């Protein structure tokens, strides 16, 4: 079912008979499961600019463990990449260079049910539809506001309040792991099943659920489930035309918008929706069985 915006909105079930709108440009192709939107003969794409040396000697892929939850975070070195896709949906254009002057950390996996419960003492997914209740499955039925509460509690435990939802640029930079193809492994969607839980291998739109994290292959920088499993909240406001404005296309994204960005696709998405450049959005209070998050953290020298 489509919204009143001419096909730019998709209505998705939250639970029972209630429906919520998620905006995803090019959603017709996603729903129909059409082949990838770009040619599938380009290999893994060109490499992004090499990472800059880190002042403290950290290297991309280096890990740390957050003590309150046991979350593993991976260091992503400073550098540049080409964000977006010229062959993708309208909201993925134009492709533009984004540079990071310093590195950052990002979760190796989506925040799990066990990690959420350990810090927050709650289980928002309990008894909800399309949920496998296991500690190592992603925490779902988490709104953007809920994720903000989790991050605020993490920040209360450290001297420098560096935890945050990934910006959209941080998320795509980390997902691509130095490539410019449709996926972190190249352009052929036939290989997606090795890296992602998505519609084809997860029970479809209504009968599936999120799977245990880190059960598929990681990208080159050691990050799991960047494609599929659950859509992930980003901190940015969503603007379908953000990439067209140079002063709004940098690492921090736009200051206002119609909803919050979500990235990565989920167990209910087709291969098209799981591409590295695919952008979606929904209201920051929305909760579903296929929407979760991962945590990022800024570095301090």
Residues of the chain with pLDDT > 70: what percent?
A: 80
Q: Please provide the average confidence, as pLDDT, over all residues in the chain.
A: 84
Angle CA(177)–CA(243)–CA(152) in degrees, nearest 5?
Answer: 65
CA distance 34 to 49: 32
User: Predicted confidence band at 246 (pLDDT cuts at 50, 70, 90)?
Assistant: low
The rounded distance, in Å, linking the Cα atoms of 33 and 151 is 35
Q: How far apart are CA 12 and CA 238, in angstroms?
A: 18
On the question of pLDDT at 250 being above 60, the answer is yes
Distance (Å, rounded) from C-alpha 64 to C-alpha 76?
12
Mean pLDDT for 95-106 is 94
Which whole number is the average pLDDT over 212-216? 98
Going by pLDDT thresholds of 50, 70 and 90, the confidence category of residue 12 is very low
Is the four-CA dihedral 213, 216, 221, 227 of positive or negative sign?
negative
Predicted pLDDT of residue 40? 27
Task: Give the per-residue pLDDT at 54.
Answer: 83
140-184 pLDDT, tens digit each? 999 999 999 999 999 999 988 899 999 999 999 999 999 999 999
Residue 155, pLDDT score: 97
**pLDDT value at position 111?**
98
Q: For residues 52 and 226, what is the distance between their CA atoms, to the nearest angstrom?
A: 23
- Per-residue CA distances from 90 to 4, 8, 25 (Å): 18, 10, 7
**What does 124-142 look like in DSSP terms, one character per residue?**
TTTT-SS----TTSBP-S-
Distance CA 281, CA 168 (A): 11
Nearest to 136 by CA among 156, 112, 107, 108: 112
**In which band, very low, low, confident or very high, does the pLDDT at 105 lie, cut at 50, 70 and 90?**
very high
- With bands split at pLDDT 50, 70 and 90, how would you rate the model's confidence at 109? very high
The answer, yes or no, to whether residue 108 has pLDDT greater than 80, is: yes
pLDDT at site 205: 64
Q: What integer is the mean pLDDT of 57-82? A: 95
Q: Burial level of 54, CB count in 10 A (0-12/13-18/19+)?
A: middle
Band (pLDDT 50/70/90 cuts) for residue 93 is very high
* Cα distance between residue 1 and residue 166, in whole Å: 30
pLDDT of 69 > 80? The answer is yes
Summarize the confidence of residues 26-42 as an average pLDDT: 30
DSSP string for residues in 270-289? -TGGGSTT-EEEE-TT---T
What's the order of all strands across the beta sheet hosting 9-15?
A: 9-15, 18-24, 279-282, 260-263, 231-237, 291-292
Per-residue pLDDT at 225: 98
The answer on pLDDT for 53 being more than 60 is: yes
Judge whether residue 253 has pLDDT over 50. yes
């Amino acid at each position: 079912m489509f919204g009143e915006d001419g096909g730019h909105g998709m209505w998705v079930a939250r639970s029972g008979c209630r429906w919520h709108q998620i905006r995803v440009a090019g959603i017709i192709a996603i729903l129909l499961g059409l082949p990838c939107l770009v040619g599938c003969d380009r290999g893994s794409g060109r490499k992004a600019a090499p990472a800059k040396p880190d002042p403290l000697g950290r290297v991309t892929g280096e890990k740390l463990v957050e003590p309150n939850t046991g979350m593993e975070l991976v260091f992503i070195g400073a550098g540049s990449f080409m964000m977006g896709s010229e062959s993708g949906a309208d909201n993925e254009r134009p492709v533009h260079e984004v540079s990071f002057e310093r590195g950052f950390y990002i979760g190796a996996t989506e925040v799990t049910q066990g990690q959420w419960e350990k810090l927050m003492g709650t289980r928002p997914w309990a008894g909800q539809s399309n949920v496998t209740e296991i500690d190592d499955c992603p925490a779902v039925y988490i709104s953007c506001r809920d994720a903000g509460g989790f991050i605020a509690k993490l920040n209360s435990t450290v001297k420098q309040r560096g935890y945050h939802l990934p910006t959209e640029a941080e998320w795509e930079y980390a997902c691509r792991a130095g490539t410019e193809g449709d996926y972190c492994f190249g352009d052929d969607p036939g290989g997606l099943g090795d890296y992602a839980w998505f519609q084809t291998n997860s029970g479809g739109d209504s009968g599936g659920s999120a799977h245990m994290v880190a059960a598929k292959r990681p990208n080159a920088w050691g990050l799991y489930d960047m494609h599929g499993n659950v859509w992930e909240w980003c901190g940015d406001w969503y603007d379908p035309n953000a990439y067209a404005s140079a002063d709004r296309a940098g690492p921090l994204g736009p200051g206002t918008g119609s909803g919050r960005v979500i990235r990565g696709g989920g167990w209910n998405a087709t291969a098209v929706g799981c591409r590295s450049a695919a952008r979606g959005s929904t209201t920051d209070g929305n909760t579903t069985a296929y929407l979760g998050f991962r945590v990022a953290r800024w570095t301090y020298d």
